[in-house]
């Protein structure tokens, strides 16, 4: 007996495979999930419009309203306070757009009321970035430091740290105990206790001063203009380094506790892969995350449907990447962990990431495990992936013009750091081959088109441009 293409399987046979009815509650669940995602997208749209119309003021106020803790009812001054004890190095938000990066040895407490912030810094080193217009003051055991600008560092030293500080600052004389102040942007006024008010010292960008009890703060370094720029970059680099050191310390702690731990404690401290494997699926959260991650992989990282497989459970997700080319996999991985992807440690609420490179995995696939904080906080902000796309599109013409300076095929990779105001605060450029004049041209072309919305946290994105004498590609 033969059958043609139009000869379907008999209906009574097909009847043998019925399917149970669909859960009626699913409709509401889907709609709730969709609405939640839509509210987030509408919020992004509002921020984009508001920023373009009123220069970002409205956008900033939206964040301000969401991020201030301990707020009272509308119309009243917002009051918040907190403290960070030694051993818990981290970044804390003190007020709108005002953050402190607190070193592990430091000890601070603060009180915020409206635009007034008073910090008590008892010891250790703290890097401050202050929103202009904030009445910001740091009280130390020796004197006070008042911000007249944006970005500075205060270190309260003790005897045990004396040698190190002296070496770092290249100061010849020994100092028993004091406060070191370094200004990177804006100005600060330092005033030691027991000194008449007229003897306060105002520090300019790039200057470092030491403050001792009963003596007017003394400026120890006044670098030239080039040095100032270098110092500003150094400050950002140091800040990033501190955050990375935090991450390393956290991972080391996880490992040490994991080797000692058991049961529930071990689960809490396990790595992302182990955590993922132990989790049950929370359907609403997991579905939304899978959708988001897959869209980002597809839209911003060039990973098409079928190349990646994403599965999320309760707090963690697993992304499987069928990418054999090592370089290509690495690019996707870097994109993924940057703010184009999930933004580890950033405002998108992901805190932990582990990857198994295709060459190290049994199945030859790349595996990325990432876990979210799921803190419950509203963490919304600009889409750095979309902004990167837009930036490259706008920069295309300018990049094309760089071809005139091209000596051979060129690959430029830039790691662009964006501060909370949306300004590019650092750009780390790598070129292959190095030394071509076109590299600088490409860097400038990209930077000229760089426009980013403010974000609750510092963010970073990789940008890759390849240029060949014949044709250009981004």
306 counts as binding other proteins under rule CB under 8 A: yes
364 counts as binding other proteins under rule CB under 8 A: no
Distance CA(36)–CA(38), nearest Å, equals 5
Output 287 or 421, the one with its CB closest to other proteins.
287
Q: What are phi and psi of 436, to 5 degrees?
A: -80, 140
19 counts as binding other proteins under rule CB under 8 A: yes
Output 40 or 113, the one with its CB closest to other proteins.
40
Output 234 or 291, the one with its CB closest to other proteins.
291
State the nearest-atom distance from the C-beta of 13 to other proteins, in Å: 6
26 counts as binding other proteins under rule CB under 8 A: yes
Output 18 or 376, the one with its CB closest to other proteins.
18
State the nearest-atom distance from the C-beta of 271 to other proteins, in Å: 18
From 31-39, 86-94, 148-156, 373-381, give the range in contact with other proteins by CB under 8 A. Answer: 31-39
User: For residue 111, what are its two tokens?
Assistant: 């009180």
Cβ neighbours for 85, distance < 8 A, ≥ 6 positions apart: 107
Angle made by CA atoms 285, 286, 292, in degrees to the nearest 5: 95
State the nearest-atom distance from the C-beta of 336 to other proteins, in Å: 18
Output 8 or 225, the one with its CB closest to other proteins.
8
> 79-84 and 107-113 as β-strands: parallel, antiparallel, unpaired?
antiparallel
Helix axes 26-54, 57-67, angle to 10 degrees: 130
Cβ neighbours for 195, distance < 8 A, ≥ 6 positions apart: 143, 214, 215, 216
State the nearest-atom distance from the C-beta of 327 to other proteins, in Å: 24
- Residue of the chain from 105, 287, 413, 449 that contacts other proteins (CB under 8 A): 287
From 180-188, 234-242, 301-309, 433-441, give the range in contact with other proteins by CB under 8 A. Answer: 301-309
Distances, alpha carbon 293 to alpha carbons 206, 299, 319, 369, 393, in Å: 42, 10, 9, 12, 23
Output 33 or 195, the one with its CB closest to other proteins.
33
Distance CA(355)–CA(332), nearest Å, equals 12
281 counts as binding other proteins under rule CB under 8 A: yes
Which residues, in sequence order, are bridge partners of residue 418? 424, 459
State the nearest-atom distance from the C-beta of 370 to other proteins, in Å: 17
Q: What are phi and psi of 140, to 5 degrees?
A: -120, 170
* HEC letters along 39-74: HHHHHHHHHHHHHHHHCCHHHHHHHHHHHCCCCCCC
Output 28 or 226, the one with its CB closest to other proteins.
28
Q: Where are the alpha helices (DSSP H) in 68-136?
A: none
From 151-159, 171-179, 288-296, 409-417, give the range in contact with other proteins by CB under 8 A. Answer: 288-296
Q: What is the dihedral of CA 430, 432, 433, 434, to 10 degrees?
A: 0
Output 38 or 360, the one with its CB closest to other proteins.
38
User: For residue 429, what are its two tokens?
Assistant: 């450029």
CB atoms within 10 A of CB 398: 16
7 counts as binding other proteins under rule CB under 8 A: yes
State the nearest-atom distance from the C-beta of 308 to other proteins, in Å: 9
16 counts as binding other proteins under rule CB under 8 A: yes
- Residue of the chain from 85, 283, 361, 468 that contacts other proteins (CB under 8 A): 283
Nearest Cα residue to 461 out of 316, 348, 325: 348
279 counts as binding other proteins under rule CB under 8 A: no
CB atoms within 10 A of CB 40: 16
Measured between alpha carbons, how far apart are the two ends of the chain, in Å?
Answer: 58
Question: DSSP secondary structure string, 178-191?
Answer: -EEEEEEES-EEEE
Which residues, in sequence order, are bridge partners of residue 448? none
38 counts as binding other proteins under rule CB under 8 A: yes
State the nearest-atom distance from the C-beta of 305 to other proteins, in Å: 6
Q: What are phi and psi of 426, to 5 degrees?
A: -160, 150
Judged by DSSP in three states, 286 sits in helix
State the nearest-atom distance from the C-beta of 17 to other proteins, in Å: 5
Output 180 or 276, the one with its CB closest to other proteins.
276
280 counts as binding other proteins under rule CB under 8 A: no
State the nearest-atom distance from the C-beta of 142 to other proteins, in Å: 58
State the nearest-atom distance from the C-beta of 27 to other proteins, in Å: 6
- Residue of the chain from 80, 215, 219, 291 that contacts other proteins (CB under 8 A): 291
From 16-24, 136-144, 220-228, 432-440, give the range in contact with other proteins by CB under 8 A. Answer: 16-24
226 counts as binding other proteins under rule CB under 8 A: no
18 counts as binding other proteins under rule CB under 8 A: yes
Interacting residues toward other proteins by CB under 8 A: 3, 5, 7-9, 11, 13-23, 26-27, 29-31, 33-34, 37-38, 281, 283, 286-288, 290-291, 305-306, 309, 311, 320
């Amino acid at each position: 007996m033969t059958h043609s293409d139009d000869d379907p399987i008999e209906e009574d046979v097909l009847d043998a495979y019925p399917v149970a009815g669909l859960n009626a509650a699913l409709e509401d669940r889907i709609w709730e999930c969709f609405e939640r995602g839509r509210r987030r997208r509408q919020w992004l749209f509002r921020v984009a419009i508001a920023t373009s119309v009123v220069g970002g003021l409205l956008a900033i106020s939206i964040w301000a309203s969401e991020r201030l803790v301990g707020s009272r009812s509308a119309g009243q001054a917002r009051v918040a306070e907190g403290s960070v004890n030694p051993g818990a190095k981290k970044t804390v938000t003190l007020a709108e757009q005002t953050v402190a990066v607190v070193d592990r040895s430091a000890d601070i407490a603060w009180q915020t009321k409206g635009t007034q912030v008073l910090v008590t810094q008892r010891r250790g080193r703290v890097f401050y970035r202050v929103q202009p217009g904030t009445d910001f003051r740091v009280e130390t055991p020796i004197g006070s430091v008042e911000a007249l600008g944006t970005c500075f560092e205060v270190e309260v030293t003790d005897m045990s740290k004396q040698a190190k500080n002296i070496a770092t600052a290249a100061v010849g004389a020994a100092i028993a105990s004091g406060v070191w102040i370094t200004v990177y942007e804006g100005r600060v006024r330092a005033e030691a206790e027991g000194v008449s008010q007229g003897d306060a010292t105002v520090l300019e960008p790039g200057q470092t001063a030491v403050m001792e009890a009963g003596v007017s703060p003394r400026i120890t370094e006044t670098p030239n203009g080039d040095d100032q720029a270098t110092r500003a970059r150094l400050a950002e680099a140091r800040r990033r380094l501190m955050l990375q050191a935090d991450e390393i310390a956290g991972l080391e702690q996880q490992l040490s506790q994991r080797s000692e731990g058991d049961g529930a404690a071990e689960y809490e401290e396990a790595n992302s892969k182990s955590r993922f494997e132990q989790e049950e699926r929370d359907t609403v959260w997991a579905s939304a995350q899978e959708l988001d991650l897959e869209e980002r992989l597809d839209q911003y990282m060039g990973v098409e449907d079928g190349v990646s497989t994403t599965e999320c459970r309760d707090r963690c997700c697993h992304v499987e990447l069928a990418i054999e080319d090592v370089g290509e996999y690495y690019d996707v991985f870097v994109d993924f962990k940057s703010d184009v992807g999930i933004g580890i440690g950033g405002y998108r609420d992901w805190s932990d990431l582990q990857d198994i490179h295709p060459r190290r995995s049994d199945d030859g696939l790349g595996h990325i495990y990432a876990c979210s904080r799921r803190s419950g906080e509203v963490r919304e902000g600009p889409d750095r992936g979309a902004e990167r796309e837009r930036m490259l599109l706008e920069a295309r013409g300018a990049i094309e013009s760089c071809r005139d300076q091209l000596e051979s095929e060129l690959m430029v990779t830039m790691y662009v750091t964006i501060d909370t105001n949306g300004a590019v605060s650092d750009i780390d450029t790598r070129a292959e081959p190095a030394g071509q004049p076109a590299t600088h041209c490409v860097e400038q072309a990209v930077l000229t088109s760089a426009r980013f919305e403010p974000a609750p946290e510092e963010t970073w994105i990789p940008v890759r441009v390849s240029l060949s004498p014949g044709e250009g590609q981004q």
